[in-house]
Amino acid sequence: MEVERPPEPVVGYSALLKNTTIRFKQSQSQRITVDDLVPGFQNHHPKLTHIAYAMPTSFLDQSSPDAALPDDTGRYGDFGGRYVPETLIAALDQLEEEYLAARQDPTFQSELDELLRDFVGRPSPLYFAKRLTQRCGGAQIWFKREDLNHTGAHKINSTIGQALLTLRMGKKRVIAETGAGQHGVATATACAHFGLPCIVYMGEEDIRRQSPNVQSMRTMGAEIRPVTTGSRTLRDAVNEAMRDWMGSVADTHYILGSVVGPHPFPMIVRDFQAIIGRETIEQSQTRFGRLPDAVVACVGGGSNAAGMFYPFVAETDVPLIGVEAGGHNDDRGQHASSLTFGKPGVLHGSFSYVLQDEDGQTDDVHSASAGLDYPGVGPEHSHWKKTGRVQYRSCRDDAALETFDLIARTEGILPALESSHAIATGMEVAQERGKDEIVVICLSGRGDKDAAEIQRLRGSEQF
Amino acid sequence: MSSIDDLFARLRSEGKKAFMPFVTAADPDLEFTQSLLKALDATGCHLAELGIPYSDPIADGPVIQASYTRALNGGVKLEAIFDMVANTTPQLSMPIVTMVSYAIIYRLGLDEYLKQAKAAGVAGAIVPDMPVDESAEFAAKCRAADFSLIQLITPTTTKQRAIEIAQQTTGFIYYVSIAGITGERTELPPDLLDNLRWLRQQTDLPICVGFGISKPEHVELLKPVADGMIVGSAIVRKIACAHPAEGGKTAATVITDVSDFARTMIDAM
């Protein structure tokens, strides 16, 4: 395609206009006309009036400064760090050193790639939810199908990587915490694959809510240690796993399940999960010839969202929407929306948004979904919230449960209750946008594990 | 010079060692804690660590966590704890330091925490989840306020790092005897004495040993190399008996039990 005169000179942004690369200044992904890009262009091509013909592949010519985070002190802006007992510092230093070396090591990477392909089943598909799109009447809705991974959720992306790290560090034993049980199953699976002994700490309340996952873990040889302290959920399971690690650091690796905890855990888990976002970018380029117009993921601790968002944050300015658990309502103790209602503070070794009272005591939180039932959130999400790079919204139990049914009936997919939060809000996002736009939602896990609990909630009409 | 510096200067000149009990504030209630602090002072304890209950104490073992949970279930707030301490410290000859999570200090505000703690007559703080790398801001404020910030060195701390921690510490060094959580142990680790002797050569600060100490034999063993000994879980376990669900002893009986135990330990010094 020819243009009469070249557009304004480049200041760091590029766009694909049919087959021609045109560079322009706008830094926002707002709707712009072809005339904005090339003044006078429309006089020559009166039918070309819409942005769809001038959609950028990326607005960023170079990586965002946020791509380089965390900094040397393990911080994402103000957030992160290592607020842990001195006993753990040496282990965290060792873990960071080993991980950074592994990240540069082609042998480690090729071993990981092979396992992700042959054992986990990657790449996971990008799926067009056609009937859901028709029903919503807005932008096209696409699902990134992490539910189709081995073990049925995104968690295995990180546990396989961390199990490889465990072997590399010469450690002989693995511990993990789990909430919904997805991370526990993924850890038990990775440990069974490598023949590593595995102990999973799980809150008593969660053991009750997620019994199918408990059975799977035991079958794969993991020992489940019920946690009876505090609220008997994920947060207490993290406390217990940290305590175990304090006394066992010499021979044990703690496979943390989310982008939370002290540095380097948030970085390691994010990096292993970032394959979700990298594949989504690649699949979008192949299928649409461009990037999506919005990307949505649910946030508890925030691992699937961090994995989906990080490559977009680093290389693009595609709008990103994180969805927290809105629980019953906005009252204290009735939800788990740390970014929406929390304040910066310290929990589980990291400085991040947290739901606390005025004395710094952690609030009890609620979500129908065990995987989102967490009073803190990863420090990088806190940074993205503070800088405005990611927009965080909240979705209540009832909307998530309705969406669970809707997706089962319109798409033939049982989404995890966690992912149902992302889909419920993703549908709103799609409705805010035009038919030629594309919204990708991270379908982080499958919902078989939730069917019985949903039945129970319905029976007692608790939601 | 804080009251902690005065204490160790005096003990050193007398050739004595410090016995330092740990008690949780408000377990089972603040009135009990106040009576217990007075009784421990009268028994001859040299310094008391007052644990500020926290909902997610990752460094503490099951005994102390259960104690924190009991206190929080009783509905205690930080303000009430400081009020009790302010009413108690004028009647004590031993200094009080708070064992407190950084989560609590940060939420209240670093300056505000210092202000309230000092006003209540508290001499210093141990912040078990604030390692030296994260402590610069609070350490500077503590120094300016002549408030001791006691930092921890553990068996997993590298030598280089131990020297850095010693340079940043005021009051005394809290040497953690064991890589693990708080709680009683039958045996102390074999390399403990060597590690303490090495540390002794690196710093003039008093070195006090904690984690796993519960018996007069432990005191006997550590006496030659430590300036003080901290006992937590063994005392907190006795205090738990004041709860109806865990023995239901009267407050007076429990206070006598704890004081008798403290006296046995002090005698071994």
What are the pLDDT digits (tens) for B16-68?
A: 999 999 999 999 999 999 999 999 999 999 999 999 999 999 878 888 999 99
Residue B49 bears catalytic tag = yes
Note the pTM of the prediction, 2 decimals. Answer: 0.90
Say if the Cβ atoms of A346 and B108 lie within 8 Å. Answer: no
Q: Closest by alpha carbon to A372, among A256, A235, A242?
A: A235
Q: Which chain A residue's Cα is nearest to B158?
A: A90
Helix (H, G, I), strand (E, B) or coil at B123: coil
Domain C-terminal end among A202, A234, A268: A268
Is residue A349 a contact partner of residue A82, using CB atoms and an 8 Å limit? yes
Residue A73 lies in a domain: no
pLDDT of residue A206: 86
Say if the Cβ atoms of B161 and A89 lie within 8 Å. Answer: yes
Say if the Cβ atoms of A360 and B108 lie within 8 Å. Answer: yes
Instruction: Tell which B residues from 77 to 96 touch A, by Cβ distance under 8 Å.
Output: 77-78
Say if the Cβ atoms of B180 and A87 lie within 8 Å. Answer: yes
> Are both A20 and A113 inside the same structural domain?
no
Residues of B in contact with A354 (CB under 8 A): 103
Residue A413 lies in a domain: yes
Q: What is the CATH number of the domain that holds B155?
A: 3.20.20.70
Residue B184 bears catalytic tag = no
Domain that holds residue B169: 3-268
Helix (H, G, I), strand (E, B) or coil at B208: strand
Residue A69 lies in a domain: no
Q: Mean pLDDT over residues B96-105, rounded?
A: 98
Domain C-terminal end among A268, A298, A328: A268
Residue A297 lies in a domain: yes
pLDDT of residue B213: 87
Q: Which chain B residue's Cα is nearest to A362?
A: B55
Q: Is the Cβ of A348 closer than 8 Å to some Cβ of chain B? A: yes
Q: From the CA of A73, how many Å to the nearest CA of chain B?
A: 9
Is residue A188 a contact partner of residue A198, using CB atoms and an 8 Å limit? yes
Domain that holds residue A443: 126-151+274-460
Residue A364 lies in a domain: yes
> Are both A391 and A290 inside the same structural domain?
yes
> Are both A343 and A372 inside the same structural domain?
yes
Residue A378 lies in a domain: yes
Q: What is the CATH number of the domain that holds A187?
A: 3.40.50.1100
Residues of A in contact with B134 (CB under 8 A): 81-83
Q: Count how many domains chain A has.
A: 3
Q: How far apart are CA A222 and CA B211, in angstroms?
A: 30
- Give me the tens of pLDDT residue by residue for chain A, a chain 463 residues long: 334 444 443 333 333 333 333 333 333 333 445 555 555 555 555 544 433 333 444 556 678 889 999 999 999 999 999 999 999 999 999 999 999 999 999 999 999 999 999 999 999 999 999 999 999 999 999 999 999 999 999 999 999 999 999 999 999 999 999 987 999 999 999 999 999 999 999 999 889 878 889 999 999 999 999 999 877 888 889 989 998 998 888 899 999 999 999 999 999 999 999 999 999 999 999 999 999 999 999 999 999 999 999 999 998 989 999 999 999 999 999 999 999 999 999 999 999 999 999 999 999 999 999 889 899 999 999 999 999 999 999 999 999 999 999 999 999 999 999 999 999 999 999 999 999 999 999 999 999 888 888 888 887 655 4
> Are both A161 and A310 inside the same structural domain?
no
Give CA torsion, residues A49, A51, A54, A58, to 10 deg: 170
- The residues of A annotated as belonging to the active site are 155, 177, 444
Instruction: Tell which B residues from 118 to 147 touch A, by Cβ distance under 8 Å.
Output: 128-134
Number of helical H runs and strand E runs in chain B: 12, 9
> Are both A221 and A90 inside the same structural domain?
yes
The DSSP bridge partners found for residue A178 are A202
> Are both A217 and A255 inside the same structural domain?
yes
Q: From the CA of A68, how many Å to the nearest CA of chain B?
A: 21
Instruction: Tell which A residues from 119 to 178 touch B, by Cβ distance under 8 Å.
Output: none
Instruction: Tell which B residues from 157 to 176 touch A, by Cβ distance under 8 Å.
Output: 157-158, 161, 165, 176
**Residue of A86, A243, A347 lying closest to B152 (CB–CB):** A86
Residue from B27, B49, B204, B267 carrying the catalytic annotation:
B49
Q: Count how many domains chain B has.
A: 1
ipTM over 0.85: yes
**Residue of B58, B176, B178 lying closest to A84 (CB–CB):** B58
